[in-house]
Structure 1
Amino acid sequence: MSNQDLLIELGTEELPPKALHSLSASFTASIEQQLKDSELAFTSIKGLNSPRRLAVLVEGLQSEQADKIVEKRGPAVSVAFGADGQPTKAALGWARGNGIEIEQAERLSTDKGEWLLHKATEKGQSVTTLLQGFIDKALKQLPIPRPMRWGNSSHSFIRPVHQVTVLFGTDVVDLEVLGIKSSNQVTGHRFYHPELVTIESPARYIEQMADAHVLVDFEQRKAVIREQIEELAEQEQANPIMDEALLDEVASLVEWPVAHVASFEQGFLAVPKEALIYTMKDDQRYFPLQARNGELLSRFVFISNIESKDPAQVISGNEKVVRPRLADAQFFFTTDQKTPLSDRVKALHSVLFQKQLGTLGDKADRMSALAGDIAAQLNDDVSAAQRAGLLAKADLMSNMVMEFPEVQGVMGMHYARIDGEPELVAEAIEAHYHPRFAGDTLPESTVGCAVALADKLDTLAGIFGIGQTPKGDRDPFALRRAAIGLLRILVEKALPLDLTRLVQSAVTQYGDKITATPELVTQIVDFLLGRFRAYYEEQGVPVDVIQAVLARRPTVAYDFDQRVQAVRSFKLNPQAEALAAANKRVGNILTKAEAEGTQLGAKVNADLLQEDAEKALYQALEAAKQELSADGYNAALSRLAALRTPIDAFFDEVMVNADDTEVRNNRLTLLADLRGQFLNIADISLLQA
């Protein structure tokens, strides 16, 4: 048995850039898992790719599986032989199926009896034999929504495949993949190396591809692009505007990246920079440059796939391409200014929000009223919140946003400023979409928070009101994202707003479009509370901590967070495990007493306390209660944790179910009082060790 390197490469036409990374990761993961499942050891595995290939490189791969002993259990001895000691048909059939005589069978003794057993040696298969199945399975598992066919082939893939390379060591593995015979030849760069490259061995693959002007390591290509952009930006004394998603996409578009700086006319800078940035990044895959002070420059970096002998021509060509797009943005911006945002609100009434819930104009009216209500609860500027809520969606009717949807909200802010709206209103219009994704910023002002909350609450109330709740993976109205965003605003901005009141207000705004029942409000609030689990799990909060707080159903999100943080800290207390167990025990005792119809007293009768341990617990609890009301949740749980000793002594020395009914009920009342103090914060009986 030996170890060799393995190379698998599918040479294709240009793969979709936004899918390349996920395709490569899936292909590699499937091959890796199949190798592990087949018990084939290897040193390392790496996914490689470029716009025209998917590849996997495995180093130090075991050439064949080890032989292994497989135990094949037969029928029980009691049924394998008859009363005369002769083998039954079942036993003979089993032996025949295993290629042995019945006399060759071994015996397996267990606590349930004795069984016939055959230990067979299963010969390990070679990698070259298994590879066909591995590759076929990996291709079937690729996330390809719409495969295509090409030529006269009956095979389908995301793009036409032209070469298949499978090398184990220096030998070509004879396979057929998607109707193409395997070889050791791959395509080089389309322009620099149009002829095929003969790969000498998997170990030389990366090097030979680089010689053919193809960087097959995605991370290397991405690093080269980042380095080139930063170097050119430094020469321009500017900062590049680049994000990981754009870098990933550009790295998926080129095999041999070469960066250049180009420019556009200064006059375009009169357009809000967000629209220009969007045009350059999303339409052209360019990297805009901005001055050290944050102002956008009339220059950008783009990535070419060749080292041109005349780079000026390449630069000029890209400048010609971007100019019409920037001119469009300039035209839209100029034209839009002729119509104030307030006039565009009327046009919102011609656009459907949802057929059962009315138009975007209806939504704007509801948002205005709801934002004003929220601002009033926060003692902030009600009129500004109402105005921002009314205008928040108006820019959807502008030419700029219709052409460049990604700048919605941002353009509303700019147009509001041009119209002379208060700055607080303008900022709130932009902020109301936040947070748009995990880790996104939150609205800065309270008015911005009010409008953002109103938008999300309105959508939640309406969609729940018509019964289109998220089911499984289906969430067409992104209600889960809206709920998480809403909770983030409430928690991270420390807003003392009650979810029940917020939802009730949102439901009321719909009038007769939905049936405003207490059950609907409860359903929506429960949905929001349920999102806390995902919110906190991302922060590494243990599930049992979240459940302990959820059990008490606090509906003020900021208060919910304070409890979670307190219980999270409490769980680290050395007393926590014992106190959680004690709370669980108390809960079980009280549940049983309730089931038996026991009526507890309103408060503990100190005169009925008999045992020293119950008196000590009562006194300790009363002393703690004097200070609990003034404590925060952290301090309160610390004080309650100090009760562990009298609690343990109570259970060691006191019989709760005393013969005297009054004494028994008084002890139950003491336990209920004790548990109630913990339940004021969370149900810590749900905490796990």
Structure 2
Amino acid sequence: MTTILFELGCEELPPKSLKNLRDALQASVRAQLNEADISFDSMKAFAAPRRLALQIQGISDKQPDRSEQKRGPAIKAAFDTDGNPTRAAMGFAKGLGIEASELITINTDKGDYVGFEQVLHGKATAELLPQIFQTALDNLPIAKRMRSGTSRDEFVRPVQWAVLMQDDSVINSTIQGHQTGQQTRGHRFHSPDYHTINHANDYESLLDSLKVIADFDKRQNLISHQVKALADEINAKAIVPQDLLDEVTALVDFPIALRASFEARFLQVPQEALISTMQADQKYFCLTDKEGTLQPYFIFITNIESKDASQIIEGNEKVVRPRLADAEFFFLQDQKQPLFALTESLKTRVFQDQLGTIWEKSERIAKLAAFIAALLQQQGKQIDIDDTVRAAILSKADLASSLVGEYPDLQGIAGTYYARLNGEPEAVAASLEEQYLPKFSGDALPQTPIGICLALADRLDTLVGIFGIGQAPTGSKDPFSLRRSAIGILRILIEKQLPINLVALVEQAIKNYADTDGSKIAKMGDTFTQVMAFLNSRYRAMYTEQGVSVDTIQAVQAINPHMPLDFDQRIRAVQAFSELPEAEPLADSNKRVANILAKSEVAVADKVDEALLSEPAEQALYSAVHQAQTAVQPLLAQANYTQVLQTLASLDQPLTQFFDGVMVNSDDAALKNNRLALLKQVRALFLTVADISELQL
């Protein structure tokens, strides 16, 4: 049991991919070792700007020996009547490189055969490892590989050295075109020369002494602690997005955090613009106060242990100043005209070739948002329709601003700032940012009523338009993010507890296209059908992410409710029902009822003739159904589907006894049809909530 060390030294690896490259390398090597039946105690992966490495401890020296049984011809064909081997037996033995006398008899349930038990000796681990590591490197998720110089070997960056050791000795091989050795390199500036690794176990400690913290997670934790300590010194809080933290960790071998500052005058600029440029362009960690207001400081990570850190700080302050000044210039330039004036240029900006300009889209959003606002008013929401229309007309205005032109991720945010500066009502201003929520899975939803109207109207207009021109998402292609938009619509209607019918919304969105320019959408009926089907298909993706079983979703989808809030209430009811002891037999009984009714050759009556109920079991079921119908009516009026299903659970015993004691397909046609009518009422009761025959319990 020994330690293996593998290291591939390169020019600086792509920082946004480094963590994934480390994980993929480790996963591939682990899988290959398991497949080769090579045991090991532990495996540790390392990743730094100029290296990927693996240290495998307690690895076995060789594969275990294993026996393999080879089966030949049947005994009857292998030996003649005198017991001498036939040509078939001798040919089989010769193929194995043995004498026919060494053959054994193998007994099987299909007869006896000749065979041979041979021992396959395991290969030495050191012999297998070079190919294992090369295969792992070949399979790394690298979008585009490169060749260096005259070498034909390809990798994400030019390879400089390769290390492959078993304890204190080198495993001689060639990996990525480089002869393996036991020399590594330290920090590019602090320790640039080659250094010998005396033992595979010394790898991490040696690099630590050479100013390289090779452990990615250790390096990241060190950065996090340093950043927090510097922020605490000025009673601030650092903004540390995980993606940025991963990228910064991948950029440095020996992280040292330093705090710098910028002029307070830049704080008049929307802080989102300042944060965007400092994070995206400079890889800085911005600082806010406890309320989330940006402070005139930032923290950066340097890769050099400087004797005079103040010079590095001054250099970074000098670099960031022009970027902040650019943001300030764009912000002030935009204020030379009111936000509404920017809408004029939207009349020449194309939203989509076949769907017209962004201005035309804004007009459609205004109509649809007003329609939704009227629905909210009917439900008792406090919302001004005129303000809603005003917000919709301004909703895309900031797309023509200089600030959004430079920082596209500020769309909506810039509009909110400019609307407030122009004295627009706060309800209007706040909605301009909220229209884009949610931006991703799990993101916050719009909070204001107008923001909700804009968010729904914008997504519905795009959804209907793109489907209307026949460009629905296919496979992995979804250039307009329609899948995300559809889930956003469902989330808003459900989580904001809005009892709004999707049919009404989609119909109104299509009508808006017809009113402006009917030629944009040729087949409006087909568009409606496709959009509704698309929205309904998103339920599965949304609820499976929440851990809801597929059969529960299918049970609700089977009755096709058009109100997302109602759909959600049914989902929760079916989930609760599934936990009841009666759920499984009732689901099975519903399958049976559905099958019986489906096979009926005549139309089944809606009413049951009580006089024809001759068997006690069918009389009992009829009575239970009648009681259940009375009990669930007020519950359905309240959409209390959970209580409805719990009430219907009382039908378990009567339904089971009915099937045990009553022949549905009686020879008497009247009796048969009456019993089918009774089962139809049972089926109808459950379908008021969901088709529980879909449940797989």
What TM-score range do you get, normalising by the shorter chain?
A: over 0.9
CA distances 1:392-436 after superposition (whole Å, capped 9, x unpaired): 222111111111111111001111112222211111110111111
Change (3 A) 1:128 1:447: same
**Of 551, 555, 559, which residue of structure 1 is paired with 2:558?**
551
One-letter amino acid of the structure 2 residue matched with residue 496 of structure 1: P
Match of 1:530 in 2: 537
Bigger CA drift: 510-519 or 445-454?
A: 510-519
Matches of 2:425 and 2:226, distance apart in 1? 43
Does 2:495 correspond to 1:492?
yes
Does 2:576 correspond to 1:573?
no
SS of the aligned residue for 2:363 comes to: helix
Match of 1:357 in 2: 355
**Of 249, 264, 267, which residue of structure 2 is paired with 1:266?**
264
Matches of 2:79 and 2:426, distance apart in 1? 93
Matches of 1:644 and 1:252, distance apart in 2? 61
SS of the aligned residue for 1:260 comes to: strand
Does 2:655 correspond to 1:647?
yes
**Of 209, 213, 216, which residue of structure 1 is paired with 2:214?**
216
Q: Per-residue deviation at 1:253?
A: 0.9
Change (3 A) 1:342 1:687: same
CA distances 1:336-363 after superposition (whole Å, capped 9, x unpaired): 1113222222212322222222222222
Change (3 A) 1:343 1:35: same
Does 2:614 correspond to 1:610?
yes
Q: Per-residue deviation at 1:599?
A: 2.0
CA distances 1:271-292 after superposition (whole Å, capped 9, x unpaired): 1111111111111111111122
Matches of 2:555 and 2:565, distance apart in 1? 16
Bigger CA drift: 472-481 or 635-644?
A: 472-481
Unaligned runs of at least 5 residues, structure 2: 378-382
Change (3 A) 1:109 1:421: farther
One-letter amino acid of the structure 2 residue matched with residue 467 of structure 1: G
One-letter amino acid of the structure 2 residue matched with residue 642 of structure 1: S
One-letter amino acid of the structure 1 residue matched with residue 256 of structure 2: V
Does 2:437 correspond to 1:439?
no
**Of 175, 181, 184, which residue of structure 2 is paired with 1:183?**
181
SS of the aligned residue for 1:252 comes to: helix
Q: Per-residue deviation at 1:93?
A: 5.0
CA distances 1:200-227 after superposition (whole Å, capped 9, x unpaired): 2232211111111111111111111111
Q: Per-residue deviation at 1:163?
A: 0.9
Match of 2:679 in 1: 671
Matches of 1:145 and 1:353, distance apart in 2? 31
SS of the aligned residue for 1:294 comes to: coil
Unaligned runs of at least 5 residues, structure 1: none
Where do 1:55-70 residues align within 5 Å? 55-70=53-68
One-letter amino acid of the structure 2 residue matched with residue 200 of structure 1: N
Matches of 1:111 and 1:680, distance apart in 2? 57
CA distances 1:620-666 after superposition (whole Å, capped 9, x unpaired): 11111112122211101101112111111111111111111111111
CA distances 1:479-538 after superposition (whole Å, capped 9, x unpaired): 222222222112111121222222222233333212243332222222222122221122
**Of 374, 377, 385, which residue of structure 1 is paired with 2:388?**
385
The answer to whether the Cα contact below 8 Å between 2:65 and 2:122 also exists between their aligned partners in 1 is yes
The answer to whether the Cα contact below 8 Å between 1:341 and 1:416 also exists between their aligned partners in 2 is yes
Match of 1:658 in 2: 666
Match of 1:407 in 2: 410
Match of 2:280 in 1: 282
One-letter amino acid of the structure 2 residue matched with residue 534 of structure 1: A
SS of the aligned residue for 1:7 comes to: strand
Change (3 A) 1:398 1:40: same
Equivalent residue pairs, number: 684
The answer to whether the Cα contact below 8 Å between 2:552 and 2:695 also exists between their aligned partners in 1 is yes
Where do 1:161-560 residues align within 5 Å? 161-379=159-377, 380-510=383-513, 511-560=518-567
Bigger CA drift: 13-22 or 54-63?
A: 54-63
Q: Per-residue deviation at 1:110?
A: 4.7
Change (3 A) 1:468 1:46: farther
CA distances 1:120-175 after superposition (whole Å, capped 9, x unpaired): 32221121111122122111211111111222212221111101111222221112
SS of the aligned residue for 2:5 comes to: strand
Bigger CA drift: 660-669 or 364-373?
A: 364-373
Change (3 A) 1:334 1:580: same
The answer to whether the Cα contact below 8 Å between 1:356 and 1:513 also exists between their aligned partners in 2 is yes
The answer to whether the Cα contact below 8 Å between 1:613 and 1:646 also exists between their aligned partners in 2 is yes
The answer to whether the Cα contact below 8 Å between 2:468 and 2:524 also exists between their aligned partners in 1 is no
The answer to whether the Cα contact below 8 Å between 2:267 and 2:296 also exists between their aligned partners in 1 is yes
One-letter amino acid of the structure 2 residue matched with residue 553 of structure 1: N
The answer to whether the Cα contact below 8 Å between 2:431 and 2:448 also exists between their aligned partners in 1 is yes
SS of the aligned residue for 1:299 comes to: strand
SS of the aligned residue for 2:179 comes to: strand
The answer to whether the Cα contact below 8 Å between 2:25 and 2:140 also exists between their aligned partners in 1 is yes
Match of 2:380 in 1: none
Matches of 1:81 and 1:349, distance apart in 2? 94
Q: Per-residue deviation at 1:106?
A: 4.3
Change (3 A) 1:685 1:115: farther
Matches of 2:405 and 2:172, distance apart in 1? 54
Normalising by structure 1, we get a TM-score of 0.95
Matches of 1:345 and 1:83, distance apart in 2? 102
Change (3 A) 1:388 1:77: farther
Bigger CA drift: 8-17 or 321-330?
A: 8-17
Matches of 2:694 and 2:519, distance apart in 1? 42
The answer to whether the Cα contact below 8 Å between 1:349 and 1:360 also exists between their aligned partners in 2 is yes
Matches of 2:9 and 2:67, distance apart in 1? 40
Q: Per-residue deviation at 1:74?
A: 4.1
One-letter amino acid of the structure 2 residue matched with residue 44 of structure 1: S
Does 2:630 correspond to 1:626?
yes
Matches of 1:412 and 1:73, distance apart in 2? 78
SS of the aligned residue for 1:378 comes to: helix
Matches of 1:387 and 1:115, distance apart in 2? 89
SS of the aligned residue for 1:5 comes to: strand
Matches of 2:34 and 2:512, distance apart in 1? 58
Matches of 2:579 and 2:83, distance apart in 1? 66
Match of 1:155 in 2: 153
SS of the aligned residue for 2:3 comes to: strand
The answer to whether the Cα contact below 8 Å between 1:508 and 1:516 also exists between their aligned partners in 2 is no
Q: Per-residue deviation at 1:71?
A: 3.1
Change (3 A) 1:76 1:516: farther
SS of the aligned residue for 1:327 comes to: helix
**Of 638, 642, 645, which residue of structure 2 is paired with 1:637?**
645
Bigger CA drift: 322-331 or 9-18?
A: 9-18
One-letter amino acid of the structure 1 residue matched with residue 195 of structure 2: V
Matches of 1:569 and 1:351, distance apart in 2? 51
Percentage of pairs with the same residue? 47
One-letter amino acid of the structure 1 residue matched with residue 435 of structure 2: H
One-letter amino acid of the structure 2 residue matched with residue 556 of structure 1: M
Change (3 A) 1:98 1:483: farther
Bigger CA drift: 292-301 or 74-83?
A: 74-83
Change (3 A) 1:260 1:611: same
Bigger CA drift: 461-470 or 76-85?
A: 76-85
One-letter amino acid of the structure 2 residue matched with residue 281 of structure 1: Q
Matches of 2:46 and 2:54, distance apart in 1? 6
Change (3 A) 1:270 1:57: same
Matches of 1:520 and 1:81, distance apart in 2? 76
Matches of 2:499 and 2:82, distance apart in 1? 85
Q: Per-residue deviation at 1:551?
A: 1.7
Normalising by structure 2, we get a TM-score of 0.94
One-letter amino acid of the structure 2 residue matched with residue 637 of structure 1: L
Matches of 2:622 and 2:484, distance apart in 1? 47
Q: Per-residue deviation at 1:4?
A: 1.3
